[in-house]
Structure 1
Amino acid sequence: MEIWQAIILGFVQGLAEFLPISSSGHLILVRNLMGIEGDYLLFDIMLHVGTLGAVAIYFFKDILQLFKPPFKKMGLLIIATIPAALVGILLGDYVDAVFMSGKYLCFFFLATAALMFVTEFFAKKEAYNKPLTIKTAIGMGLMQAVGVLPGISRSGSTIFGGVMTKTNKNEVATFSFLMSIPMILGSAAVETYHVIKDGADVDVLPMVIGMVVALVSGYLAIRFVMSLVKKANFKWFGVYLIALSFITFFWLFL
Structure 2
Amino acid sequence: MKIAIIGCGYVGSAVAQLWSQKGHQLTVTTTTPERVSELQNITPQVVVMKGNDSQAMQDVLQNQEVVLLSVGDRYRTGYKQTYLETAQTLVAALKQTPTVKQIIYTASYSVYGDKNGEWVDENSPVTPSTESGKILHETEEVLLSASTPQQPVCILRLGGIYGPGRELVKIFSRWEGQTRPGSGDDVTNWIHLDDIVGALEFAREKRLQGIYNLVSNVPMISRELLDGLHKYQGLEKIYWDPSTSSTRPFNARVSNQKLRNEGFKLIHPEIKINIGSTI
Which structure ranks higher in relative contact order (CA pairs < 8 Å, sequence separation ≥ 6)? Answer: 1
* Larger proportion of strand: 2
* TM surpasses 0.5: no
- TM, length-normalised to structure 2: 0.27
* Larger proportion of helix: 1
Q: Which has the larger radius of gyration?
A: 2
